[in-house]
Amino acid sequence: MRIHSGEASEAERVAHAAWMAADPLNRAEYAKLGNIWSDLDRIPDPRAISLAPSVGRRRASRRAFLAGGAAAFAATGLIAVAGPSAFLGGDHATGTGEQDSVTLSDGTGVELDADSAIALDFTDAVRGVRLLRGRAFFDVAKDVRPFSVSAAGGSVTALGTRFVVHEWAGAVTVSVQESAVAIVAPGGAEVRINAGEGVSYGDQGLGRVRSNDVEAELAWRRGKLIFEDRPLRQVIADVNRYRSGTIRVTDDRLLAMRVSGIFDIGNPDGVLDAIRGTLPVRTLELTRYLVLLRPA
């Protein structure tokens, strides 16, 4: 990851080259990863690119896709990683491939990933935010009122902090960059996580707290998607936010397969290429808006 990040020092590159030369097995193992690592040196910062001229066309395409394909989806019985809720809005929302930064009335900064939405519930007593879909980074302003984010049946309460909440395929991952948060998962399980830690929760309860590379979780702010041994379910959910249409899976056993790699958010189909090249799956593109993943 370091070598392909575009930030490796000369000493790190020399050490990497020496490791490659030390043993043919090293080169062979490294080659196996070749299909899922992308060269990031040429990736521009997406926040520097104005997406406004294409917004209308992109959303019109999605509306046309829904109108033309709703009956077909209803008949397929396929496993969906993103459902109709992905097309609902909120107080602040982004479309496919878009990102946005907003400042809330209390001074809290929020950065929204692509195809994400939040709804606000600020009162004199509390500052409430609902993450309706996608992923958001919060830089919470000081205030006597508590600040909490609800997502997928759980809640995350800030303890004076910077953190990211990531909803994917019905599960939620919380990662803390600064200070700490208190989490209540569906079912009532509670945990506190500190800077550099992360945890996921979902219908099956609260996962274990783990040391977390928060910068990898925030890589979308720099134009990258970084997956380190992540389930295919999460990878597809994230990629669907950056490409028109949707990816669906015909066999839910595929969703547990693990994926690692660094990808350019400007080329979401590159992730599909990597999945085809490294996992025992086949793809079937019924239209440019519908891609099916099937066991090989």
Residue 156 carries which DSSP code? E
pLDDT of 276? 84
How many CA atoms lie less than 13 Å away from 33 in the CB half-sphere? 19
Written as tens digits, the pLDDT of the chain (296 aa) is: 677 666 778 888 889 889 988 988 887 777 656 544 443 333 344 444 444 443 433 443 333 333 344 434 444 445 544 444 444 457 999 999 999 999 999 999 999 999 999 999 999 999 999 999 999 999 999 999 999 999 999 999 999 899 999 998 889 999 999 999 999 999 899 999 999 999 999 988 899 999 877 888 889 999 998 888 888 988 999 998 998 888 888 888 888 899 888 888 888 888 888 888 888 988 888 877 888 888 88
**For the domain 84-217, what is the CATH code?**
2.60.120.1440
pLDDT at 71: 39
pLDDT of residue 45: 47
Q: Please report the sign of the dihedral spanned by the C-alpha atoms of residue 242, residue 243, residue 248, residue 253.
A: negative
Q: Which residues contact 6 (CB under 8 A, 6 or more apart)?
A: 40, 41, 43
Cα separation, 153 vs 178, whole angstroms: 24
CA atoms within 13 A on the CB side of 207: 14
Report pLDDT for 103.
97
HEC string of 18-84 equals: HHHHHCHHHHHHHHHCHHHECCCCCCCCHHHCCCHHHHHHHHHHHHHHHHHHHHHHHHHCCEECCCH
pLDDT at 43: 39
Contact assessment for residue 194 and residue 186, using Cβ atoms and an 8 Å cutoff: no
Q: Would you say the pTM of this structure is higher than 0.95?
A: no
Sequence-distant contacts of 212-216: CB under 8 A, at least 24 apart: 212/175, 212/176, 214/164, 214/175, 214/176, 214/177, 216/1
Q: Domain spans of the chain?
A: 1-32, 84-217
Tell the residue number behind the tokens 């077909």, with chain if given: 72
Q: What is the pLDDT of residue 17?
A: 85
Can you give the pLDDT at residue 6?
63
Sheet strands side by side (includes 127-133): 92-93, 117-122, 127-133, 147-151, 154-158, 180-184, 190-194
Give the pLDDT confidence score for residue 13 in this predicted structure: 82
pLDDT, residue 4, reads: 63
> In Å, what is the CA distance from 4 to each residue of 9, 33, 37, 75, 259?
11, 12, 7, 43, 16
Q: What pLDDT is recorded for position 32?
A: 58
- What pLDDT sits at residue 33? 61
> Would you state the pLDDT for residue 78?
52
Query: What integer pLDDT is reported at residue 5 of this predicted model?
Result: 61
The predicted pLDDT at position 199 comes to 95
